[in-house]
Amino acid sequence: MGASFVKKCLVVDDSKVIRKVACHMLETLDFSVVEADHGGEALERLKTDIPDVVLLDWNMPVMDGMEFLDAMKALALETRPKVIFCTTENDVDHIRRAMAAGADEYIMKPFDRETLQSKIEIVQAGAVNGQSA
Amino acid sequence: MTIAPSTMRILSSLLEARTGQCLSEGRHWRVEMALNPILKKRGIEDCNALAASLAAPDARRLSDETVEALLNNETYFFRDHDAFADLPRVFEAIAANRKGRKTLRIWSAGCSTGQEIYSVAMQLRDDERRWRDWSIELLGTDISQSVIDRAKRADFSQFEIQRGLAAGHMLRWFENSDGRWQARDTLRDMVHFRRHNVLDVPPPGQFDVILCRNVMLYFPGINRAKALANLARALAPDGALMLGAGETVLGYSDRFEILPGVRSLYRLAAAEPPQILRVAAAGS
Ligand SMILES: C[S@@+](CC[C@H](N)C(=O)[O-])C[C@H]1O[C@@H](n2cnc3c(N)ncnc32)[C@H](O)[C@@H]1O
């Protein structure tokens, strides 16, 4: 990308293991990572610092992924981070619901580094996204 | 188990004879892992015993399986996102010269399980109206029959389907049943697949765009040169060749030059002098 600043990603997941795996992958992709344990905590983080990308779990205590998306919209942020839903749900209806709720991309767990990298490229380029037609 | 040097020699000459690839030192450790399923399935003791069996006169099936197992079929959708992002401009530039007959022919040489050429297909269909009255021919070829069979089935695991593929494309072009993702017929019918060795005479006709990506990686220089010469023959004079990120024609072929302003893409170098001039020069 050539830019000297590091990109930021907020990882929202109630599983410490998942956060750790995701953080590790993201760091190899030159992201600095901030973690949150649930949607509520993630929302607090957004108020002080807006990341480039949010990797968002669906099922979490306190505030789940869908509620987080709504709450984030309500914040009316000046620049909205790109949101990648990242869950074990793999049926088409779930995916459609997430995209309709405003997610930019969707990853099914488990995934590898190439998959994460490609999804980040997709949301950042906004190009090859299959939604133009 | 250690793999005897003689085993390594047998395996590498088999692989090279069939595919043009060499089994470089760095890949030795993978050999055992790659061949393990065959050993198990056939109850063969180890790789050395397998190599010995390859010498038997009726070993064609075994040798086919061995070659297939030794190939690296790694691939994913829209691999090298940035390079794919440049493709629509290339299609447009070529299409500008095809206004009369409105046909485009695209070939993925070394297509593995099909993700690459299906990506091209989806990308073209994103711009439905642009290509509506065009006849677009998409061909995927590979040396390995088993990946060609899989590419035709177009049925991907959850892991495969989301590698490189946007959720929007996935929902539009694939159906999920029990965690497998099956391409819809509308996508599958756009592409043809067949077995072909890129070191052999190319498929008939000229192609407007050829993708040959991450195939020549394990070719010795002489085979890279041969493959590139074949691709140059198969490419339309105004066509484009797309290699993998980090691959180059430099040092292996002077038939191609970099296509300015786009990544991983090459065009045929300025036309050679007409035959008659060359004959004259040689004779003078
Ligand atoms: C690493 S995969 C790359 C697939 C895809 N082009 C990509 O870049 O994602 C390389 C493929 O080339 C095929 N291959 C190797 N040698 C070949 C040859 N001589 N002719 C045709 N295909 C070959 C292999 O079977 C394998 O499927």
Q: What are the structure tokens assigned to B223, written together?
A: 């085979």
In order of A31, B38, B53, B196, B229, the CA distances from B58 in angstroms are: 55, 17, 9, 24, 35
> Looking at CA atoms only, how far is residue A85 from chain B in angstroms?
10
Q: Which residue has the tokens 């000046």?
A: A78
Question: Is there a single domain that holds both residue B111 and residue B177?
Answer: yes
In a domain, B76, yes or no: no
Long-range contacts (CB closer than 8 Å, 24 or more residues apart) made by A116-121: A116/A22, A116/A25, A116/A26, A116/A29, A117/A25, A117/A29, A118/B76, A118/B77, A118/B78, A118/B81, A118/B163, A118/B164, A118/B165, A119/A84, A119/B162, A119/B166, A120/A29, A120/A53, A120/A84, A121/B81, A121/B82
Q: Give chain B positions within 8 Å (CB) of A129.
A: 166, 168-169
Kindly give, in sequence order, each residue whose CB lies less than 8 Å from that of residue A17, ignoring residues fewer than 6 positions away: none
Q: How many CB atoms lie within 10 A of CB B57?
A: 5
Cα A19 from Cα B165, distance rounded (Å)? 23
Same domain, B242 and B148: yes
**Shared domain check, B112 and B184:** yes
Q: Give me the helix-helix angle, B145-153 and B60-70, nearest 10°.
A: 70
Q: How far is the CA of A71 from the centre of ligand 1 (A)?
A: 47
Q: Chain A 71-90, CB below 8 Å of chain B: which residues? A: 90
β B135-142/B103-109 pair status: parallel
Distance CA B230, CA A103 (A): 45
Distance B223 CA to ligand 1 centre (A): 14
ipTM over 0.95: no
Res. B52: pLDDT tops 90: yes
Are both B107 and B10 inside the same structural domain?
no
Q: Which two tokens stand for residue A66?
A: 């869908």
Confirm whether B75 is domain-assigned.
no
* pLDDT in the model for residue A132: 38
| Residue B90 and residue B63 share a domain | no
Q: Do B171 and A92 touch (CB under 8 A)?
A: yes
With CA atoms as reference, the chain A residue closest to B162 would be A115
Average pLDDT, rounded, for chain B: 92
Q: Which domain CATH number covers B98?
A: 3.40.50.150
φ and ψ at residue B106, rounded to 5 degrees: -130, 135
Q: Which residues line ligand 1 (CB under 6 A)?
A: B 19-21, 71-75, 79, 110-112, 116, 142-144, 147, 197-199, 213-215, 244
For residue B51, the CA-to-ligand 1 centroid distance in Å is: 24
Boundary residue ending a domain (B48, B70, B92) = B70
CA dist., res. B172 & res. B149, Å (int): 23
Whether chain B has a CB inside 8 Å of the CB on A100: the answer is no
H/E element, B176: strand B174-177
B124 touches chain A (CB under 8 A): no
Edge-first strand order for the sheet with A82-87 is: A31-36, A7-12, A53-56, A82-87, A105-108
* Chain B CA closest to residue A104: B167
Note down pLDDT in tens along chain A; length 133 residues: 444 568 999 999 999 999 999 999 999 999 999 999 999 999 999 988 999 999 999 888 888 899 999 999 998 888 899 999 998 888 899 999 999 999 999 999 999 999 999 999 999 886 444 443 3
pLDDT band at B1 (very low <50, low <70, confident <90, very high): low
pLDDT at B284: 42
- Measured in angstroms, the CA of B274 and the nearest CA of chain A are apart by 42
Domain count for chain B: 2
Whether residues B194 and B260 share a domain: the answer is yes
Backbone CA torsion sign across A36, A40, A41, A46? positive
Q: Are residues B115 and B211 part of one domain?
A: yes
Q: Distance (Å) from the C-alpha of residue B148 to the closest C-alpha of chain A?
A: 23
Classify domain A3-113 at the CATH superfamily level: Response regulator (3.40.50.2300)
Gap between the terminal Cα atoms of chain A: 28
Question: Nearest residue of B to residue A98 by CA position?
Answer: B167
Domain that residue B9 falls in = 5-70
Q: Does B89 touch chain A (CB under 8 A)?
A: no
Query: For B189-236, how does the pLDDT look when each residue is reduced to its tens digit (9 = 90+)?
Result: 999 999 999 999 999 999 999 999 999 999 999 999 999 999 999 999
**Which residue is closest in CA terms to ligand 1's atom 7?**
B75
* Domain identity same for B91 and B57: no
What's the one-letter identity of residue A22? A
B85 interface with A at CB cutoff 8 Å: yes
B149 and B255 in a common domain: yes
Q: In what helix (H) or strand (E) does residue B211 lie, and over which residues does it extend?
A: strand B207-211
Ligand 1 atom with the smallest distance to the CA of B68 is 25
- Max Cα distance, chain A (Å): 40
Nearest to A13 by CA among A102, A85, A95: A85
CB contact set of B134 (below 8 Å; sequence gap of 6+): B95, B102, B103, B104
Q: Is residue B275 part of a domain?
A: yes
- List the domain boundaries for chain A: 3-113
CB contact B81 to A (< 8 Å): yes
Reported as a pLDDT band with limits 50, 70 and 90, residue B13 is: very high
Structure tokens at B228: 């590139």
A118 Cβ under 8 Å from any chain B Cβ = yes
Q: Is position B18 within any domain?
A: yes
Tell which one of B27, B112, B116 to mutate to probe ligand 1, the residue whose CB is within 8 A of the most ligand atoms: B112
Q: Is A133 on the interface with B (CB under 8 A)?
A: yes
CB atoms within 10 A of CB A31: 23
SS3 string, chain A, reads: CCCCCCEEEEEECCCHHHHHHHHHHHHHCCEEEEEECCHHHHHHHHHHCCCCEEEECCCCCCCCHHHHHHHHHHHCCCCCCEEEEEECCCCHHHHHHHHHCCCCEEEECCCCHHHHHHHHHHHHHCCCCCCCC
Partners of B191 in the β-ladder: B138
Q: Rounded to an integer, what distance in angstroms lies between the CA atom of residue B108 and that of residue B138?
A: 8
Work out which ligand 1 atom sits closest to the CA atom of B227: 19
- Asked if B94 and B142 sit in the same domain, the reply is yes
Contact by Cβ (8 Å): B117, A125: no
DSSP state of B272: P
Q: How do residues B235-282 score in pLDDT, each as one tens digit?
A: 999 999 999 998 999 999 999 999 988 889 999 997 555 555 555 555
B184 and B98 fall within a common domain: yes
d(CA B31, CA B23) in angstroms, rounded, equals 9
Please tell me the predicted confidence (pLDDT) of residue A128. 44
B176 closest CB neighbour out of A90, A122, A132: A90
Strands B235-242, B265-268: parallel, antiparallel or unpaired by DSSP?
antiparallel
Domain boundary (B70, B90, B117) is at: B70
Q: Are residues B13 and B149 in the same domain?
A: no
